Structure 1
């Protein structure tokens, strides 16, 4: 049962806010302490690891080292579309095995953030999840628009704004490729690409099932099974599932129920036919269902002056997990997909055909964007997606002096969204004045409230409004690519490749409903498909062609070292955004391009007990895609900025301190600037790209110890820090986020026969309130003078800085029992 006193995050202590100097000193001390602890830990650990390496190299007779070599695991990746060692791959890539993800309870992309240097995610809602890498980010959500970080699951492209809201289960490994991957992975990877590889069927019978229980009434079950389906082992099969049910992590006092609930399940099945040594066919299918509330939002600011809120006696507090939304809303989605992969080994290489189909149906009722007990603005996004992809890929044999990969790619996508806006503008607010000024000539220049004449003559303007914006898009994408690697000498390789992409997008739509100065500011006598007004956007069409080359040279000065330098280009397709007026909607958003310059080092030393990977990069963007609110019209506008530049360094380190004890760390430093904003955006040049924290630090440790009797005790923990950054390309403090010190941990015991495992775990143990998205809707709660006019005696700083954040999950903890068979 939801327990407000224990499970909702506690109210602030009521202490006075620290001064600016105090905050600066706290930040300095925190970073200095983190750097000091990291330096101290590594300075103490390295001599111990070196001593252990010496013992391993010269083990005493009968010692443990004589029986078992201790060293870092060799991870095989397909970042270049062929299998190869991670440390021999000249790309900045982080690879996580399924075992690593299970140990750290990485079950979604939000959990993955702690493992990838510089990786970030913001989320307006479950249907709008925006990943970011190296300045590549996106706030575009219209049908046909694309993310800046491409997602592939078993080689199938996931191309919708809600595709990062998926469960990660039955995982073989996850590869995160940082920087543009425009040659082999194609369009919409200006920031990078994420390749999720799930487990394939095996002939040997194997399986597991686990059950977890935790706070907020968490119940979760996960499992998989695989085996040969016939005696000849020509047919193999596997089935995996996950299901999670959890009461909301916030409590809505207005409706008296929990909000931000979790209720979802996913299935994946595979059948593999091994006909001959040179031919395999893999058929995969997956299904997912979600039935949850919408997100919780917390209103932070001065008591609103809106008459409707005063009438109900609303006064905001600072209890982050106790909210006052007028409604919880609902989010229901069903998605399924299938793929067929055929691989044939021929004398000159391997020919693969990969066909995939995806279908998604989302029904999201309007969700409150302010966290207030009366209707102000809410948005729902019912959506339908159908997608088909086909790829033909040719891979030359490995081990030759010249190796190459080439292929053809096709994508068809049909995406439809029926946005539902529900608004009510209080006539005593700035929003009420804008509503009156748009449709009532009597308003004049008054900005603080709707004048009595407008309220009396046009009361319909201040009733609850309903506006629908329907948008439909079709995408046709064709591509051809080729990349080859030539061994110049034994230790030096040259890689060159290019991809040609042709995209064609069509869009149409209309807006209908009540008159609304933000969402429907077009008055048509008699109305258009609605009660008061609207407009139609006829069929729009645009094509783009992109050439995205890449060249890399790498050198191995010694067996366990790799030095490389890369120049590559990335491309994100253009799009149409139909939420604006008909004239603006007819102008497409132009494609985004990025040139990436990178140098890197991959190394192992201390007898394979230590690993250090470094990447130095500069990304130069052109036509950076972003969205903003027009300060004059109030419209949501999607446009292109002129140029952006992001520079940075990424470091990943792993150290086996002693048998069973492993420390790892990753750090990212990046600094970026955007220039050439449209005038109406009112954003000064020099603003950083969205989701580009200057400092990101992740530390983790794991320890496994064999107990008398053969059982094993394991401990694992990780720590994350991110300096302040903006969730969007917007200097507004409402879009500011940071991670001061998030801690996760677990303790596990595995029986001697390795059948049973018992784990106690905790996530966000420091109970941080991490903002995953912000809102600035001050004009809906206050008058102009209160929130926007510092020269007025009515100006209130708490009103001027009001915001409505969405938070990441609070502290959660529980226990898991796992049976392997």
Structure 2
């Protein structure tokens, strides 16, 4: 860490310490931690009663810490990683399990759910975390209840539902550096004498680009995002509930800003490139663009009968996505080769779920159901090389159809007052049809031949979980859980030949063994949870670049992932709170030979830090007139990360230290508030993406220091 970084950390710590002993005022805030409710097991429960590892960000944390996208969630969650090229197609890693395959016939290994709806395409993970109830991160395979392809874990984003009991409204406005201008608002209106309600929320986020393109003169990596959500809740009777939701997001951005980060000195092509590590500037021959439009509809019907609740949950989502970029970040005056390309994708997908579950408060909690997911994806993948004025272009056209079916059941049975048993099983079947063709403009780049191949295959598996929970004493839970997850097989998105196009990759599997403890001390003022886990990961789907630039997905063999996670939340005294979480992850390949003569056994799994720490101190100072002043900071540390499974060469991210902080003044009665905030205050520099081929390592950087002010108003 630099001297300036250490000085800033000392200043932040000093401010928080001084705030802990204010003069002229006293805090009346309670020293007891608030109770957190989650639906990680598809039913409402106290977080401390759930026998799995869950990290939760509640509505206040999301709003005050400016958690808006998946990357913000990852910064605050040990065991969760995030990167993307471009950022509009995020790659999510949970406990070392993630996927780089964005092809039309591939699937993510760690999934995102929006109000229980599976977002089946990486580019569909587009939402603004405004007006949300909470965000839950479930770690490890969720093969029973959340089902489809959740091998590594799941991120559940839960919107704040309509409230029939009262009218409510709120708004916020933000200004900041890089010409940031944000706005968001919501309104909740009860209808029909409290038997129905409608809730509308919307937001826009804009800022100038973080990076200037010195070749074009424009700024890139900017933001222009608009999101809206409309919800309706109806309660025709005490036993019947109906909810409808429409939501949509529109993204427009230039970039990403790429750089030639390192030379591969052993490669003849290294002479083609000029190293450029200036985060503030790029020199790409084009600015690029990242355009995305996505919307969805959701319907849920719940009907309470004498012994259970019958639920239907259905959805439809549509995605239109376009991106174009300069991959090497240079132009004809800096690099002898210009690499460009992009993706165009149109997807629509739907889901239907019919389930029956035990009534709230039942002694035995159970759920059983049927699930169907279908999708249709058309994707275009383009790569262009300009070599001293000679252009080579190839285009892959992909079309994928998917029908997925599942049946599942899960039960938690209290055998005694202290001991309960949990067991669940799910059978899944995926039916995939795929067509891929390669055509060339002036020459073939990645493919050895032109082809047009159609293939089809089915994949199925039974997954499960079984475990037990024992209450050692009141507020002290000990649990053990074994869970198995499955990710469907698929087909190559950029194969080098017709034979490769017809050759699928097989499903991957993960079995997790988890031992956990959850305890509450000091009359609710201290929570301390600990988890030990071991993951047996087989047939990993990994991607590699061939000599001719074709990218293929292989089944890598076996890996063992083991680790320890701890979470502590402490109200030391009225108004003061300290939250600390830490994850140790040892993820290594047991068997992995990507090609003859190459052995990666013993290497670390890519994109996985061995250590990650998040520390969040805060203090709320209640003033004499009933207003309050809050101080909070978030410090996040990640150890070194390998971005390639070879664990050699330049594709390494050095350890990082990120600091965010905020000061919030809230008026008496909490009608309005003002927040002064800063993110990445030490201006930490790290590589958010990198990949090596053609003699150089190309990549992008994280956002720089940002700061601003936000005004909140509540009805």
TM-score bracket, normalised by the shorter chain, equals over 0.9
**Counterpart position of 2:524:** 608
1:87-139 C-alpha deviation (Å, 9 max, x unpaired): 00001011111111111111111111122111101211134311001121111
* Higher alpha-carbon deviation: 90-99 or 125-134: 125-134
Are positions 1:402 and 2:359 aligned together?
A: no
**Counterpart position of 1:237:** 198
**Counterpart position of 1:592:** 508
**Counterpart position of 1:3:** none
Residue 105 of structure 1 is aligned with which of 66, 71, 76?
66
For residues 742-821 of structure 1, the aligned pairs below 5 Å read 742-779=658-695, 802-821=696-715
User: How far did residue 69 of structure 1 move?
Assistant: 4.8
1:275-329 C-alpha deviation (Å, 9 max, x unpaired): 0011011000001111111201122346999999999xx9645422211111111
Are positions 1:129 and 2:90 aligned together?
A: yes
Distance in structure 2 (CA, Å) of the matches to 1:716 and 1:193: 28
Are positions 1:281 and 2:196 aligned together?
A: no
**Counterpart position of 1:573:** 488
Please state whether the residue corresponding to 2:340 is helix, strand or coil.
Answer: strand
**Counterpart position of 2:607:** 691
For residues 276-675 of structure 1, the aligned pairs below 5 Å read 276-301=237-262, 316-365=275-324, 367-374=325-332, 376-426=338-388, 463-514=390-441, 516=443, 518-522=445-449, 534-537=450-453, 539-580=454-495, 581-631=497-547, 633-674=548-589, 675=591
Distance in structure 1 (CA, Å) of the matches to 2:664 and 2:204: 22
* Higher alpha-carbon deviation: 721-730 or 276-285: 721-730
Distance in structure 2 (CA, Å) of the matches to 1:127 and 1:119: 18
Residue 79 of structure 2 is aligned with which of 102, 118, 121?
118
Distance in structure 2 (CA, Å) of the matches to 1:309 and 1:687: 26
CA contact (8 A) 1:154 1:197 kept: yes
Distance in structure 1 (CA, Å) of the matches to 2:270 and 2:482: 56
1:352-372 C-alpha deviation (Å, 9 max, x unpaired): 10010000101223x111111
Q: Which runs of 5+ in 2 are unaligned?
A: none
TM-score, scaled to structure 2: 0.93
User: How far did residue 658 of structure 1 move?
Assistant: 1.2
Distance in structure 2 (CA, Å) of the matches to 1:306 and 1:570: 40
CA contact (8 A) 1:212 1:817 kept: yes
Are positions 1:214 and 2:209 aligned together?
A: no
Distance in structure 2 (CA, Å) of the matches to 1:127 and 1:210: 25
* Higher alpha-carbon deviation: 108-117 or 597-606: 108-117
Please state whether the residue corresponding to 1:578 is helix, strand or coil.
Answer: coil
Superposition CA RMSD, Å? 2.8
Counterparts in 2 of 1:166 and 1:735: CA distance versus 1, 3 Å: farther
User: How far did residue 741 of structure 1 move?
Assistant: 1.1
Distance in structure 1 (CA, Å) of the matches to 2:500 and 2:120: 25
Counterparts in 2 of 1:165 and 1:804: CA distance versus 1, 3 Å: farther
CA contact (8 A) 2:104 2:493 kept: no
Please state whether the residue corresponding to 2:692 is helix, strand or coil.
Answer: coil
CA contact (8 A) 2:447 2:550 kept: no
Counterparts in 2 of 1:127 and 1:218: CA distance versus 1, 3 Å: closer
Distance in structure 2 (CA, Å) of the matches to 1:726 and 1:395: 44
User: How far did residue 716 of structure 1 move?
Assistant: 0.9
User: How far did residue 753 of structure 1 move?
Assistant: 2.7
Counterparts in 2 of 1:194 and 1:732: CA distance versus 1, 3 Å: same
Larger proportion of strand: 2
User: How far did residue 399 of structure 1 move?
Assistant: 3.5
**Counterpart position of 1:260:** 221
1:34-91 C-alpha deviation (Å, 9 max, x unpaired): 9xx99xxxxx9xxx99xxxxxxxxxxxxx999x9753111111111111111000001
Counterparts in 2 of 1:463 and 1:269: CA distance versus 1, 3 Å: same
**Counterpart position of 2:41:** 80
User: How far did residue 144 of structure 1 move?
Assistant: 2.8
User: How far did residue 552 of structure 1 move?
Assistant: 0.9
* Higher alpha-carbon deviation: 382-391 or 578-587: 578-587
**Counterpart position of 2:132:** 171
CA contact (8 A) 1:628 1:681 kept: no
For residues 44-59 of structure 1, the aligned pairs below 5 Å read none
CA contact (8 A) 1:129 1:163 kept: no
For residues 217-228 of structure 1, the aligned pairs below 5 Å read 217-228=179-190
Please state whether the residue corresponding to 1:585 is helix, strand or coil.
Answer: helix
Distance in structure 2 (CA, Å) of the matches to 1:483 and 1:302: 53
Distance in structure 2 (CA, Å) of the matches to 1:688 and 1:316: 27
Please state whether the residue corresponding to 2:302 is helix, strand or coil.
Answer: strand
Q: Which has the larger radius of gyration?
A: 1
Distance in structure 2 (CA, Å) of the matches to 1:307 and 1:120: 34
Counterparts in 2 of 1:727 and 1:513: CA distance versus 1, 3 Å: same
User: How far did residue 141 of structure 1 move?
Assistant: 0.9
**Counterpart position of 1:798:** none
Counterparts in 2 of 1:303 and 1:709: CA distance versus 1, 3 Å: same
Counterparts in 2 of 1:514 and 1:196: CA distance versus 1, 3 Å: same
User: How far did residue 804 of structure 1 move?
Assistant: 2.0
Are positions 1:714 and 2:641 aligned together?
A: no
Aligned residues: 698
**Counterpart position of 1:727:** 643
Distance in structure 1 (CA, Å) of the matches to 2:101 and 2:64: 34
TM-score, scaled to structure 1: 0.81
User: How far did residue 733 of structure 1 move?
Assistant: 3.7
Larger proportion of helix: 1
Counterparts in 2 of 1:244 and 1:547: CA distance versus 1, 3 Å: same
User: How far did residue 682 of structure 1 move?
Assistant: 3.8
Counterparts in 2 of 1:119 and 1:629: CA distance versus 1, 3 Å: same
1:416-456 C-alpha deviation (Å, 9 max, x unpaired): 11112221235xxxxxxxxxxxxxxxxxxxxxxxxxxxxxx
Distance in structure 2 (CA, Å) of the matches to 1:191 and 1:549: 14
Please state whether the residue corresponding to 1:299 is helix, strand or coil.
Answer: strand
Counterparts in 2 of 1:535 and 1:681: CA distance versus 1, 3 Å: farther
Counterparts in 2 of 1:315 and 1:92: CA distance versus 1, 3 Å: closer
For residues 88-99 of structure 1, the aligned pairs below 5 Å read 88-99=49-60
Distance in structure 1 (CA, Å) of the matches to 2:135 and 2:197: 23
Please state whether the residue corresponding to 1:557 is helix, strand or coil.
Answer: strand
**Counterpart position of 1:196:** 157
